[in-house]
Amino acid sequence: MLARRRALHVTLHVLLVLLSTIYVVPFLWMVSTSLKLSGREITFPPQWIPDPVVWGNYYRAVTVVPMFQFLRNTLVVTITATCCGVLTASLAGYAFARLRFPGRDKLFAMCLTALMLPGIVTLIPEFLIFKQLTLLDTLWPLIIPWSLGGSAFAVFLFRQYALTIPLDLDEAARVDGAGAFRIWWSIMLPLARPVLATLAILSVIYHWNEFLRPLVYIHTPSLRTLAIGLALFKSEYLVEWNLMMAAATLMLIPILVLFFVAQRYFVQGIVMTGIKG
Amino acid sequence: MSAIARSRAATTVRRGSSLARKQAVEGYLCILPWLVGFVCFTLGPMVGALALSFTEYDIITPPDFTGLANLQRVFKDPLFYQSLGNTAYISLLSVPLQQMLALSLAMALNEKLKGIAIYRTIFYLPSQMPLVAAALLWLWIFNPDFGLANALLDKVGLPTLKWLFDVNLVKPSIVLITLWGGIGTPMIVFLAGLQGVPESLYEAAAIDGAGAWQRFRNVTVPMISPVIFFNLIIGVIASFQAYFTLVYTTTQGGPANASLIYIIYLFFKAFKDFEMGYASALAWLLFLVVLALTGIQFYFARRWVHYEGGAR
């Protein structure tokens, strides 16, 4: 029995090593290309170890297009939308979990239906609304919808979490004369820190990656976000694969750092959606 | 009953209605930001899209009511059928393959091997790669002249391929990319599901003489069927919209519309041709299709999804 288990483990290790090689190679290829001298990346068959190693590609990748400008725009959108979104979503989630008001369950059911809605269905009228507000070609359309209640998913997740917080806590606060806002702010939010972290991470990644809406709304080059700026390498600098890979690597690094710092919350977010979904 | 509880109960009775009113006001205030967002950016636009789908609208001149003309046009539009077919092709291949690969990996990782954290990170990371970056990376890997994919084929003596630039290969190539980038999330969900299956069930099955396959078929699958079901729903909904960035960045629907997936077609109709009415009709059809697919999955789920603690 033990020998069989051992044999199974060895086989699994061999298979997993093989498969994980396939999953890692694209990353290595990206980094390898990003360090090659211009012109050397287009040799066939390709070299794996760049010679010479050109770190300057990374500098050129962020200067050949105004990457810092794009970064600034992305940060403005990401930070504003995440802060406002997490706050308003938690406020709504708390109300759905704890307060009684007429129509609560119907409204919450509507919130859940929005989970199933493909985002593109609402994009056209949304575009027309921002056109009416003369906010096209600004960063506002990327911020406003998420600042009002985050996403349906965020409201749902916070509600589920708030339901697990002992009811005695808010009753005690009620007796002390605290109102709903006070309870939300000084009881719910501190206790819900893990779920807030998860929501914030999901939101940051979403806005960091968001491609469709900036593509639709932004035309002025100086207002582009990183995702759109990165796609520029394809159209305007198609021959320079090494710069493109350098830019792609740079865009991945913040997500990697976030992942290794807050791995727990990544997994938690997925598991919470998966198991309790 | 303690004195505090008694006095609290008395207060509740005395101030019952005013308390209820206060809580209702507080409740509405708390959900207000979300409600405004929901009405303006979800509910309103949904109704708006439905209304627009009965019009012809090019943004410059006011919408022109044309009744069911858009719908009639959709069903005669060869690109509608082609894009629907392309989407079905990619989704039907990539969603089941992703799920199977993710489940196999989760089961392997659940065997309490050494180094599980490293494997888990490796298989999960591609799903966290920014989509545009991933798309550009694969565009480079599949480059017909200098790409890694062809270098590997060349090395083992096979003829090189055109990958994303070949009418017949573009869809399988996209499926390959989604197998690299799309298994992280379902794998983690499966892993969490598997960890919730009590060891005692496997032991009992083993005592009854169940082999590995029977244990998988009769213990693992029923126990994690809610997770499989959840992953399938999410996978199908996602597959209808998530491939936008990937396809837009790599092929823009080409060559010869072979990778023109539904939402790329919708996007071009709306924001390149500015046929907002027609695009809205396409958008609502997409919504109905997603709704129908979800409904079908729920219907069949009753036969194979097993919830612990009886029917739900």
Rounded Cα distance between A150 and B37, Å, is 9
Is residue B220 classed exposed, middle or buried when 0-12, 13-18 and 19+ CB atoms within 10 A define those classes?
buried
Q: Which among B130, B280, B291 has CB closest to A252?
A: B130
Which residues of chain A lie closer than 8 angstroms to B141, CB-CB? 26, 29
Whether the per-residue pLDDT at B310 is higher than 80: the answer is: no
Q: Which long-range contacts (CB under 8 A, 24 or more apart) does A10-17 make?
A: A12/B108, A12/B111, A12/B113, A13/B113, A13/B115, A15/B108, A16/B105, A16/B108, A16/B109, A16/B113, A16/B119
- Identify the band that residue B16 occupies on the pLDDT scale cut at 50, 70 and 90: low
> Among residues 214-253 of chain B, which lie with CB inside 8 Å of chain A?
227, 230-231, 234, 237, 240-241, 244-245, 248-249
Which of the 8 DSSP states describes residue B39?
A: I
State the complex-level ipTM: 0.90
Q: Determine the Cα–Cα distance for residues A134 and A130; give it in Å rounded to an integer.
A: 6
Which whole number is the average pLDDT over B211-236?
Answer: 83
Give pLDDT, residue B237.
77
Residue B246: pLDDT band (50, 70, 90) is: very high
Question: Predicted confidence band at B1 (pLDDT cuts at 50, 70, 90)?
Answer: very low
Q: Give the minimum alpha-carbon distance from B253 to chain A in angstroms, rounded to a whole number.
A: 15
Query: String of b and e for B111-143 (b: at least 16 CB within 10 Å)?
Result: eeeeeeeebbebbbbbbbbbbbbbbbbbbbbbb
Neighbours of B216 (CB within 10 A): 15
Cβ neighbors of A159 (< 8 A, separation 6 or more) are: A92, A93, A94, A96, A97, A108
Mean pLDDT of all residues in B138-149: 91
Report pLDDT digits (tens) over B57-91. 988 888 889 989 999 999 999 999 999 999 999 99
CB A227 within 8 A of CB A210: yes
CA distances from B269 to A151, B233, B238, B258, B277 (A): 27, 27, 21, 17, 9
Taking the Cβ of residue B157 and every Cβ of chain A, the question of whether any pair is shorter than 8 Å is answered with: no
> Do residue B42 and residue A147 have CB atoms under 8 angstroms apart?
no
Those residues with Cβ within 8 angstroms of residue A276's Cβ, 6 or more apart along the chain or in another chain:
A160
The pLDDT score that the predictor gives to residue A1 is 63
Q: What is the pLDDT of residue B138?
A: 95
DSSP 3-state percent helix, strand, coil across chain B (nearest 5): 75, 0, 25
**Nearest of A79, A208, A23, A209 to residue B176 by alpha carbon:** A23
Check if the beta carbon of residue A192 is closer than 8 Å to that of residue A90. Answer: yes
Q: What pLDDT is stored for residue B218 in this prediction? A: 86
A29 contacts B137? CB cut-off 8 A:
yes
State the count of interchain CB pairs (< 8 A) between A and B. Answer: 288
Closest Cα to residue A107, out of B100, B121, B43? B43
Please give the backbone phi and psi of residue B65, each rounded to the nearest 5 degrees, phi first.
-70, 125
Which of A46, A121, A267 is nearest residue B148 as measured by Cβ atoms? A46
pLDDT means per 10 residues, chain A with 277 residues, are 80 91 94 89 81 90 91 96 96 93 92 82 93 94 92 89 86 86 91 90 91 93 92 74 92 92 78 53
For chain A, give the number of residues: 277
B287/A91 CB distance under 8 A: no
Q: What is the pLDDT of residues B155-168, one digit of tens each?
A: 898 998 999 999 99
B311 pLDDT above the threshold of 70:
no
For the record, the structure tokens of A190 come out as 């501190």
Residue B159: exposure state from Cβ atoms within 10 A (0-12, 13-18, ≥19) = exposed
Q: What is the Cα–Cα distance from A17 to A2, expressed in whole angstroms?
A: 22
**Which residue of A101, A130, A219 is the best one to mutate when testing the B interface, meaning the one whose CB has the most B CBs within 10 A?**
A101
B26 touching chain A per CB within 8 A: yes
- Answer yes or no: is pLDDT of B267 > 50: yes
For residues B287-310, give the mean pLDDT. Answer: 78
Q: What is the DSSP string of A145-212?
A: HHHTT--HHHHHHHHHHHTTS-HHHHHHHHHTT--HHHHIIIIIHHHTHHHHHHHHHHHHHHHHH--H
pLDDT at B197 over 70: yes
pLDDT tops 50 at residue B222:
yes
Residue of A nearest to B250 (CA): A234
Cα–Cα distance for residue pair B284/B291, rounded to 1 Å = 10
Nearest to A92 among B30, B45, B49 (CB): B30
Instruction: Please check whether residue B137 touches A, CB under 8 A.
Output: yes
Helix/strand/coil percentages in chain A, nearest 5: 75, 0, 25
Is B13 a residue whose pLDDT tops 80? no
A88/B34 touch (CB, cutoff 8 Å), yes or no? yes
Answer whether residue B11 shows pLDDT above 70.
no
A chain contacts of residue B4, beta-carbon cutoff 8 Å: 175
Which pair of tokens denotes residue B296? 């079908």
- Min Cα distance A112 → chain B (Å) is 11
Asked whether the beta carbons of residue A100 and residue B279 sit closer than 8 angstroms, the reply is no
List B65's β-bridge partners, or say none: B55
Specify the pLDDT at position A273.
Answer: 59
Asked whether the beta carbons of B183 and B102 are under 8 A apart, the reply is yes
Whether B45 and A100 lie within 8 Å, measured CB to CB: no
Residue A24 burial class via C-beta count within 10 angstroms: exposed 0-12, middle 13-18, buried 19 and up: middle
Mutate to test the interface with A, among B30, B98, B103, B228 (most CBs of A within 10 A): B30
Tell me, rounded to whole angstroms, the distance of Cα B310 from its chain centroid: 28
CA dist., res. B240 & res. B176, Å (int): 17
Q: Is the pLDDT of residue B230 over 60?
A: yes
Residue B49 in contact with partner chain A when CB distance is under 8 A: yes
Determine the pLDDT at residue A274.
Answer: 52
Mutation site for B-interface testing, chosen from A42, A106, A123 by largest number of B Cβ within 10 Å: A123
Is A121 in contact with B283 (Cβ distance < 8 A)?
Answer: yes
Average pLDDT, chain B: 87
Task: Answer whether B38 touches A (CB < 8 Å).
Answer: yes
Q: Do B33 and A111 touch (CB under 8 A)?
A: no
**What pTM, to 2 d.p., does this model score?**
0.89
For residue B117, the model assigns a pLDDT of: 85
Task: Sort out which chain B residues have CB atoms less than 8 A from A67's CB and list them.
Answer: none
Distance in angstroms (rounded) separating the CA atoms of residues B283 and B277: 10
Distance from CA of B154 to the nearest CA of A (A): 8
Positive/negative CA dihedral, A204, A209, A215, A216: negative
Please write the tens of the pLDDT for every residue from A224-240: 999 999 988 887 656 68
Choose among A73, A77, A35: nearest CA to A243: A35
In terms of Cα–Cα distance, which of A43, A41, A38, A20 is closest to A30?
A41
CB pair distance less than 8 Å for B131 and A227: yes
